[in-house]
Structure 1
Amino acid sequence: MIYRVMKIHNSAKILTRFEEYREIVKSRAARHGGVRRRDERCIADGNELLRFHCATFLCDLGQNGNSSICSHQYCSVCGIIRVGFSSKMDGISTLSTSWKGHAALPEDLEEEFRFMHVKRAMLVCRVIAGRIGCDPEMGDKDDPGYDSLVGREPGGTQTRLDEEDELIVFNPRAVLPCFVIAYTV
């Protein structure tokens, strides 16, 4: 059950980082002459997509009209809103549907961390996908040829991003959270 949808008012610093990253992706694609069909989108808008990312939070965000972010170190949603996604992550998982985003976190998460009063929230994010790699052996966080990578089930043989796929984005500046949907299962 959704009990609150909140629009995120990102700081000027976070917005600037996102737009600067978009320009880097666009200029890099333009320098390569748009060789691939997907590069056309990179040149136009950085290959921007709207994606979902499920995260947890510990505070009263969204309850009884509370829209203040907290400073608790384990409140993931508030941390993302305050400073953006962590650069220490190996990649930021984004999904095409909220159901896929929800399913990406273990089912028993709330039960396991009940003592901390952990809750789920769905972040609706603008994502600069840039050049998308499809082969985990060829593109990763350290390969400058790709900005993101299609995540897939083991044994899968996809060659492009389908609507139901996970997209792993390597640069935290490429993901801009726009809405928080606080919900219960």
Structure 2
Amino acid sequence: MNATIPPMHAALSVLGTMAGQYIAAQGQAPQVKQPLPANTSTKQFTGTATLATCDICQVRPKYFDGQKTHSYCGKSCATAAQKKHSPNSKPKRNKTTKATRRLCDHCHKQPKYNDGTTIHSYCGKTCAQKAKAAGVSAAQPTQLAKSVESFFCRVLTVLITVSRSSPTNSGCLLCGKAVKGKGHFCSQACTSMAEKSAPGLIEVPQGHDTFKSVADQFKASWRHQTPCPTVRRVHKVISSPTSIVKYEAYRAAVEARGNFVAAGRSAGNENRRWHGTTRECNLGDNGNCTLCSSQTCSLCCILKTSYNLNLFGKKTGWGRFGHGIYTSSTSSKSNDYSTNVNPSSLKAILLNKVVVGKGYKMTQDNTSLTAPPAGYDTVLAEVSSGGSLNYDELVCYTNDAIRPSYMVMYDA
């Protein structure tokens, strides 16, 4: 989402007020905790949005003037409150106020539910069920109410999604705050929040350094004699903590054998490599970040459980360098394997972290391999005169040597 849109905070306030009106009508006043966007004052957008009703009528939402949430819904209730607290005012006794008549017939605390056409007897489903159990009939919510509820669920989703959009070039992908050192999240709190969505995706804002890094690698490694497509979206892959622990343990073991850090390389000689596969669903289209449930959608299966050697050859039927997991430094090479089952204007490709370790260089096919030669961790299939390859390939032979890191959507 474009972080340069000036009315963004005002839009958040409006959406929050709208959501408050609906939730207040059901007699609920939960606190929706959302990450606070960077460079946003608490006067513009509070990190904890309390959706509450007027202190006097307890029906309409409190008035929000764009900077402050007041105690009352409007002038009438504000005037009533002033009279109520005036030293000359006399308390009324034994009278049922208008506000009291609008409270739930069961709990007598929350306002009655209004579906837009009817004011029901109870504040929500809980009290309606309790009243029914006690032998009192309860009005059922209308289809309109269900539609309104669905709408505001989407509104709250938008609020959370907007708050994730970082206005800074290298901020946390969840809250936008500055990130110390390497990584995508500013704190353990944001890291834990992201892990709760695993396996899943978080879209990277286009102005973010990570988006630029991934898009630049895609463009720079497009080596086919065709125009390089434009990258439209980049999604950070959130893998389960258990999956990451296995990968990091394998990387540490390879590093211990090869001492790559001492030679000026990354731990385990880790590199980023491309992989194209089949997408059965519309993941990545129009902001869709929900993984599908199909057992044959290769893209979603990889995002859920990473790569699985047991599925080797399922799509291609063979491998030039045997029973392994194939990636490439050439984005256009992996693009050849990226296919859509459903019509789409975009294609998906995965950028992965791969523990290369000590790679064995090969230029000719060897389809019988099930592991790299002794003393090596991977196979580096290189292009050479008289060789069988037009573009490079990197092959690993263990599931723990690779993890998807980004899903990239680009013009088909």
TM-score range, shorter chain: 0.7 to 0.9
| Bigger relative contact order, structure 1 or 2 (CA pairs below 8 A, ≥6 apart) | 1
Residue 59 of structure 1 and its aligned partner are, at CA, apart by 1.2
User: Cα deviation per residue 1:30-52 (whole Å; 9 max; x = unaligned)?
Assistant: 5xxxxxxx795598610111111
**Aligned pairs (5 A) from 1:1-185:** 2-29=231-258, 45-88=267-310, 89=312, 90-103=323-336, 105=337, 116-117=341-342, 120-135=347-362, 140-142=369-371, 143-152=373-382, 155-156=386-387, 165-185=392-412
- Would you say the 8 A contact 1:27–1:43 is kept in 2? no
> For residues 127-166 of structure 1, what are the alpha-carbon distances to aligned partners after superposition, in whole Å with 9 as ceiling and x for unaligned?
10011011466x94334422110224694299xxxxx621
Bigger proportion of residues as strand: 1
CA distance in 1, matches of 2:264, 2:400: 16
CA contact (8 A) 1:121 1:180 kept: yes
Other structure's SS at 1:8 match: strand
Q: How far is the alpha carbon of 1:87 from its aligned partner?
A: 2.4
Aligned letter for 2:274? F
- Number of residue pairs matched by the alignment: 164
In the TM superposition, what is the alpha-carbon distance from 1:182 to its structure 2 partner? 2.5
Maintained 8 Å contact 2:354/2:401 = yes
Q: Secondary structure at the match of 1:173?
A: helix
Letter in 2 for 1:19: E
Q: CA deviation at 1:16?
A: 0.7
The range that moved more, 123-132 or 140-149, is 140-149
Alpha-carbon offset, residue 3 of structure 1: 4.2
Gaps of 5+ in 1: 31-37, 111-115, 159-163
| Cα distance change of structure 1 residues 25 and 141 upon mapping to structure 2, 3 Å threshold | farther
Aligned-partner residue type, residue 117 of structure 1: N
Aligned-pair RMSD on alpha carbons?
A: 3.1
- DSSP 3-state at the match of 2:276: strand
Name the CA shift for 1:80/1:14 in 2 (closer, same or farther; >3 Å).
same
Distance in 1, Cα, partners of 2:243 & 2:264: 21
Contact 2:282 / 2:342 at 8 angstroms: preserved in 1?
no
> Is the contact between residue 148 and residue 169 of structure 1 (CA under 8 Å) also seen in structure 2?
yes
CA distance 1:24–1:81, change in 2 (3 Å): same
For residue 96 of structure 1, give the secondary structure of its aligned residue in structure 2.
Answer: coil
Per the alignment, residue 5 of structure 2 pairs with: none
Partners in 1 of 2:258 and 2:261 — Cα distance?
Answer: 6
Matched-pair contact (CA < 8 Å) for 2:348–2:408? yes
How many Å separate the matches in 2 of 1:44 and 1:50? 11
Gaps (5+ residues) in structure 2?
A: 1-229, 313-322
Q: Taking structure 2 as the reference length, what is the TM-score of the superposition?
A: 0.36
